Chain A
Amino acid sequence: MTTALAANPSKTAAEKRASNARVRNNRRGSKGGIFLGLLAWVIGIIFVFPVFYMLLTSLHSEFDAATNPPSFFAPLTLDGYREFFGASSGASPWPPLINSATASIVSTIVVILLAIPAAYALSVKPVEKWTDVMFFFLSTKFLPAVAGLLPLYIIAKTIGVLDNINFIVILYTAMNLPIAVWMLRSFLADIPVELFEAASIDGAGLIRTLRSIIVPIISPGIAATALICFIFSWNELLLANTLTSIVAQTAPVFLTSFVTSQGLFLAKVCAAATAVSLPVLIAGFAAQDKLVQGLSLGAVK
């Protein structure tokens, strides 16, 4: 599965790397090249192994999961996943998974909708002191969420939005907005100024400029930003753990409550960890090239 997914991205990036590759291949002897290639493989396997082991253990019986030395070749079973989906507890993981999906997707959409105009105002026709604004956005990411936990709880309780997924959406929007503005600004800064000038001669308003010129051009950048926001929202634990309980519980919170005190539970925990991580793993693998671009363009411009 991994190789199939990986084939695409390497092809798309091929042109960029072509000239680099030529340089390197000329430079390196083939023996050293083979060694370094092998080294890359070894390191890759070391890093992926815990993930592979999580997947493997999730498919083992509890008994086989808890042996020392490990039983890599034990028969496979779906019992761990059955437990995750509530076989013996009757507690379904679907509401938390749906909550997580809602919180991640909706907040990501709102983030993008707010961040595109902001990024526009910070790059194409920048407002005065735009660097200060950028620094301000980024500085809010340094404020520890835990220090705001109590006020958020009290505010949520007072206005009656405890255990409300909409409140979580708003918080995740605030959490990801600075990074999104930062990333999108770097994409916008890539667009030649002439394009906008032409648009303003045409008399296009801001919204039309955004819709018909900017969004189409930076759509890969928007996708990358959205992916990052989605991942960080899906992963969030601290806020959700404090502010949700029954109706709005998210998947990571569900996961923490899944570790029980009942005897053997390793396979079950691995199944749960795999299931909860799956959306991010799929999204991340499918869009790894975009991920690279999205995370790095902020450094280029």
Chain B
Amino acid sequence: MATATATPPDQTAPAPKKTKVPERSFGERWGDKKGWARRVPLLPALAFIVIMTQLPFVATILVSFTNWNANYPDEIKFGTLQNFVTVFTDAGLRQSVFFTILLTVTVVLVSLAFGLGIALLLNRNFIGRGAVRTMMIAPFLVVPVAAALLWKHAMYNPEYGLFNGLLTQVFGASAPQPDWITDFPRLAIMGELIWQWTPFMTLILLAGLQSRPGDVMEAAQVDGANAWQTFANMTMPHMRRYLELAGLLGTIYIIQQFDSVFTLTAGAYGTANLPYTIYQTLYNAQDYGLASAQGVIVVIGTIIIATFALRTVSSLFEEGN
């Protein structure tokens, strides 16, 4: 367990497994009946995923080299790089790249930090622990677009939203009444997402804490380790994988976040992230070629990020059997 602390990238590939057969030529493997017996159960899922996720992107790549604008159906031509020129010179798209990164990093890190703190609290014995855990999970179980609507209208609304309502309740009629979404557009989106994703992080980290081997903890205590030492030397190394897993899953979903941006600000005030920008090019401008080029760039970008992200979390696999 303790080996998980420092893993040089080189060792990320799986350790050789007991069951693994020695290296053979491709021909040998191809003809190997046992090998096929192993591969067959995998094939339906693999084929399905390849077709369903790769096929549309091949089409996207093809369209990105056209000047296809739905408003000019008679002028479609293949074989232009203009869309890519536009993509790289578009200030609006650069801004949306920046905001996508900012949004993902902020939401994931803050929810992870909150999630860890809350998981530590929930891992203790106290009256009504089950009830508190149930309350903590609730935000994750609200349908995202419903949550976005709830925050837009019932929380942030300057006239009758809960936040300003509570301000009035506490400070009286002269209380400040900020217009949350327009005064703090980015924070408004981040706040809503952190509220939704903290429970998710808490769940994963709580499971991690509960799988801490008790005897080791007890041994540490017998050795006279104080609470902080136990946390830093025993808990955190154990939790590293769980933090990585939570961070990875969070990143996957926040980077593609659409519902909140769509609902809360519709991309105004510098809150258009990449998915929303592509959506707008697709629908508002009806510029299918440009939208596809944007999509291609995003896919290339995310493959690069995904590669790094997966490398860092590859400790998840290292003890795989």
A interface with B by C-beta (< 8 Å): 2-3, 5-7, 9-10, 13, 16-28, 33-34, 36-37, 39-41, 43-45, 47-48, 50-51, 53-54, 57, 65-70, 114-115, 117-118, 120-123, 125-128, 130-131, 133-152, 154-155, 170-171, 173-174, 177-178, 181, 189, 193, 206, 231, 234-235, 237-238, 251-252, 255-256, 259, 265-266, 269-270, 272-274, 276-277, 280-281, 283-285, 288, 291-293, 295-301
Please name 29 pairs of A and B residues whose Cβ atoms are closer than 8 Å in the assembled complex, sorted by A. A3-B130, A3-B134, A7-B130, A16-B210, A19-B218, A67-B165, A117-B40, A123-B320, A126-B20, A128-B20, A146-B256, A147-B60, A147-B294, A147-B296, A148-B57, A150-B63, A189-B321, A206-B40, A238-B259, A252-B144, A255-B145, A277-B141, A284-B141, A291-B137, A292-B204, A292-B207, A295-B207, A295-B249, A298-B245
A66: chain B residues within 8 A (beta carbon): 159-160
Q: Say yes or no: B118 contacts A40, CB within 8 Å.
A: yes
Q: Say yes or no: B295 contacts A147, CB within 8 Å.
A: yes
Q: Say yes or no: A149 contacts B282, CB within 8 Å.
A: yes
Q: Say yes or no: B241 contacts A299, CB within 8 Å.
A: yes
Q: Say yes or no: A299 contacts B149, CB within 8 Å.
A: no
Given contacts A3-B128, A117-B41, contact A301 B320 (CB under 8 A): yes
Q: Say yes or no: A127 contacts B39, CB within 8 Å.
A: yes
Contact of B126 among A9, A33, A177 (CB under 8 A): A33
Q: Say yes or no: A299 contacts B168, CB within 8 Å.
A: no
B160: chain A residues within 8 A (beta carbon): 65-68, 70, 266
Q: Does B87 sit at the interface, judged by CB under 8 A?
A: no
Q: What is the size, in residues, of chain B's interface with A at 8 Å between Cβ atoms?
A: 124
Given contacts A53-B162, A171-B52, contact A17 B210 (CB under 8 A): yes
A142: chain B residues within 8 A (beta carbon): 252, 255, 302-303, 305-306, 309
Interface string of B197-214 (1 = CB under 8 A from A): 011100110111111101
Given contacts A37-B127, A148-B57, contact A138 B37 (CB under 8 A): no
Q: Say yes or no: A133 contacts B132, CB within 8 Å.
A: no
A21: chain B residues within 8 A (beta carbon): 124-125
Q: Give A292's nearest chain B residue, CB to CB.
A: B207
Q: Does B76 sit at the interface, judged by CB under 8 A?
A: no
Distance of A24 Cα from B198 Cα, bound (Å)? 24
Given contacts A144-B298, A151-B60, contact A47 B136 (CB under 8 A): yes
Q: Say yes or no: B132 contacts A44, CB within 8 Å.
A: yes
B309: chain A residues within 8 A (beta carbon): 142
Q: Say yes or no: B56 contacts A68, CB within 8 Å.
A: no
B40: chain A residues within 8 A (beta carbon): 117, 121, 206
Q: Say yes or no: B245 contacts A299, CB within 8 Å.
A: yes
Q: Say yes or no: A144 contacts B150, CB within 8 Å.
A: no
Of the listed residues B138, B210, B309, the one surrounded by the most CB atoms of chain A closer than 10 A to its CB is B138
Interface string of B116-160 (1 = CB under 8 A from A): 001001111111111111111111111111110111011100011
Q: A137-B49, A143-B53, A151-B55 are in contact. List 20 more A-B contacts (CB 8 A).
A: A36-B126, A43-B136, A47-B199, A54-B142, A67-B160, A68-B165, A127-B35, A142-B302, A150-B59, A150-B288, A174-B52, A177-B48, A177-B49, A235-B143, A238-B258, A273-B146, A277-B146, A296-B207, A298-B245, A299-B241
B interface with A by C-beta (< 8 Å): 13-14, 17, 19-20, 29, 35, 37-42, 44-46, 48-49, 52-53, 55-57, 59-60, 63, 118, 121-147, 149-151, 153-155, 159-160, 162, 164-166, 168-169, 195, 198-200, 203-204, 206-212, 214-215, 217-218, 221, 227, 241-242, 244-245, 249, 252, 255-256, 258-259, 262-263, 274-275, 278-279, 282, 288, 291-292, 294-296, 298-299, 302-303, 305-307, 309-310, 316-317, 319-321
Q: Say yes or no: B258 contacts A296, CB within 8 Å.
A: no
Q: Say yes or no: A47 contacts B122, CB within 8 Å.
A: no
Q: Give A231's nearest chain B residue, CB to CB.
A: B141
Q: Give B243's nearest chain A residue, CB to CB.
A: A299
Of the listed residues A18, A51, A280, the one surrounded by the most CB atoms of chain B closer than 10 A to its CB is A51
B14: chain A residues within 8 A (beta carbon): 130-131
**Chain B nearest Cβ from A205, distance in angstroms:** 10
Q: Say yes or no: A20 contacts B146, CB within 8 Å.
A: no
Distance of A117 Cα from B44 Cα, bound (Å)? 9
Given contacts A40-B124, A131-B317, A293-B207, contact A22 B142 (CB under 8 A): no
Of the listed residues A13, A37, A145, A296, the one surrounded by the most CB atoms of chain B closer than 10 A to its CB is A296
Distance of A139 Cα from B144 Cα, bound (Å)? 23
Q: Give A141's nearest chain B residue, CB to CB.
A: B252
Given contacts A20-B123, A121-B39, contact A144 B295 (CB under 8 A): yes
